[in-house]
Amino acid sequence: MRRLPAVRPEIVGLVVVGGVVLIGLPTVTNQFYTFEFAKVAIFVIALLGLNILTGYSGQISLGNGAFMAVGGYTTAILVHGPGVPYWATIPAAGLLAGVGGVLIGIPALRLTGIYLALATFALALSIPPVLNHFDSFTGGHSGIVMPPVLAPFGLDLSQEQWLYYLNAGIALVLFAFAWGVVRSRTGRAFMAIRDSETAAVASGINLAYYKTLAFGLSAFYAGVAGSLLAIATSYLNPDSFGLSLSLALLVGIVIGGLGLDFGAVLGGLFVVWLPYFAEKASGLQIGVFSFPGKPDIIFGALLILILFFAPNGAAGLLRRGWLWYLSLRGAARLPAAEPVAEREPTEIVP
């Protein structure tokens, strides 16, 4: 029998508080904030995918915005053309993007390090003009307009609230799935590849299979995120999926915490809210220094600072804080407090 690890009461408390916040949020904030939090959920999904690829498998991708474009356009075209209900397009968008990811993953097998960065960078840059080119499908520059989404079953929810619950629900399911994947045999193979390809191969890990799988999974997440983005904004055009989106994803996951479960969550919060606060702070005068209203500068500067001072990102800082708290509470009786990303507990076989 596998013994279930004891759950600390603090964890139970955090989960309860987290659940209450997650469910109660749209009832206490206004429509604008609710919509922004719906966007946070979308970015969390995209970042969960990028985390699987870059954080756990060590394959850099500057092109996940392109997979979001695949998902977004799948939904927009299916809803706009044959009139498929929007909720039915979400899995289709994820699967199609996932197939795209596998297709990109196959040539990417032979590209390592900066070459992979180069190729995916080129992918991110070349997607918008290609979408423009096939304007009979994509509507070109003018984009595709979709009917706004209303709460189903006569639920008494505003449009923003429904979008929030929809996105947050899907994000929660996909978070749990990613949580499971990285703790499974597959996840351990991903991390082995990240830490040393040679050692991974020597241990009998099929490099081609797992790398392609990582690309496919990551693109699936990006596709679902792209689909939800299209549904939330009920409009998309090629510029929604430019280089800046792909860069925002990378910045988000690095600042949130590469290879840590909550990195994607913190990264999503960051990517959505930083531009908002940067806008608010713009024009704020401190002496002669006027605060720049440009999130890019703050994004870039934070990125470099985080890499230098806290390579595990915000989630890494939180984890350190948690471990420190445990050490204060005399956690010696619970040896399971070892950090997850540094050493995976091996599965106990009866």
Partner 1 sequence: MLAFIQQIVSGIASGGIYASLALALVLVYRAMDVANFAQGEMATFSTFISYSLIEYAHLDFWTAFVITIVASFALGIGIERLLIRPFEGAPVLTLVIVTLGLFTIINGVTGLVWGYVFKEYRGAFISQPVRFGGLYLDTQDLGVLAVVLVMLLLLYLFFSRTKIGLAMRAASLYPESSRLLGVRVGWMLALGWGLAAAVGAVSGMMVAPIIFLDPNMMQSILLFAFAAAVLGGIESPLGSVVGGIAIGIVMALVGTYIPGGQDLRLAFGLIVIVVVLLVRPAGLFGRAAVRRV
Q: Minimum Å distance from CB 246 to partner 1?
A: 10
Q: Is 125 in the site for partner 1 (CB under 8 A)?
A: yes
Residue 142 makes CB contacts below 8 A (sequence gap 6+) with: 237
Q: Is 81 in the site for partner 1 (CB under 8 A)?
A: no
Confirm if 263 and 315 have CB atoms less than 8 A apart: yes
Q: Which two tokens stand for residue 211?
A: 């790398």
Of 47, 299, 314, 315, the one binding partner 1 (CB under 8 A) is 299
Q: Which two tokens stand for residue 316?
A: 């890494």
Residue with smaller CB distance to partner 1, 290 or 327:
290
- Beta strand segments in 114-245, E: 144-145, 235-236
- For 333, which DSSP code? G
The pairing of strands 144-145 and 235-236 is: antiparallel
Coil, strand or helix: which one is 145? strand
Q: Is 111 in the site for partner 1 (CB under 8 A)?
A: yes
- Contact region with partner 1 (CB under 8 A), list: 4-12, 205-213, 301-309, 317-325: 301-309
Q: Is 103 in the site for partner 1 (CB under 8 A)?
A: no
Q: DSSP readout, 114-125?
A: HHHHHHHHHHHH
- Contact region with partner 1 (CB under 8 A), list: 82-90, 127-135, 165-173, 209-217: 127-135
Residue with smaller CB distance to partner 1, 116 or 174:
116
For the window 186-225, what string marks contact with partner 1 as x by the rule CB under 8 A? Answer: ------------x---------------------------
- Report the run of H or E that residue 51 belongs to, with start and end: none
- Contact region with partner 1 (CB under 8 A), list: 77-85, 146-154, 262-270, 305-313: 305-313
Q: Minimum Å distance from CB 314 to partner 1?
A: 15
Confirm if 215 and 105 have CB atoms less than 8 A apart: yes
Residue with smaller CB distance to partner 1, 5 or 129:
129
Of 32, 91, 126, 347, the one binding partner 1 (CB under 8 A) is 126
**Which residues 250-289 are close enough to bind partner 1 by CB under 8 A?**
250-251, 254
**Which residues 13-32 are close enough to bind partner 1 by CB under 8 A?**
none
Q: Minimum Å distance from CB 130 to partner 1?
A: 5
Confirm if 164 and 34 have CB atoms less than 8 A apart: yes
Long-range contacts of residues 102-108, Cβ cutoff 8 Å, at least 24 apart: 102/212, 102/215, 102/216, 102/219, 104/63, 104/215, 104/219, 105/211, 105/212, 105/213, 105/214, 105/215, 105/216, 105/219, 106/212, 108/59, 108/211, 108/215
- Tell me how far apart the 2 most distant CA atoms of the chain are, in Å: 68
For the window 306-325, what string marks contact with partner 1 as x by the rule CB under 8 A? Answer: -xx--x--------------
Of 20, 118, 173, 334, the one binding partner 1 (CB under 8 A) is 118
Say how far apart CA 248 and CA 124 lie, in whole Å: 12
- Contact region with partner 1 (CB under 8 A), list: 13-21, 28-36, 105-113, 320-328: 105-113
Q: Which two tokens stand for residue 348?
A: 């106990």
- Contact region with partner 1 (CB under 8 A), list: 25-33, 124-132, 154-162, 174-182: 124-132
Phi, psi of 172 (to 5 degrees): -65, -45
Q: Minimum Å distance from CB 252 to partner 1?
A: 12
Of 93, 247, 315, 341, the one binding partner 1 (CB under 8 A) is 247
Q: Is 45 in the site for partner 1 (CB under 8 A)?
A: no
* Residue whose token pair is 């020597």: 202
Residues that bind partner 1 (CB under 8 A): 54, 58, 60, 62, 107, 110-111, 113-115, 117-119, 121-123, 125-126, 129-130, 132-133, 198, 243, 247, 250-251, 254, 292, 294-297, 299-301, 303-304, 307-308, 311
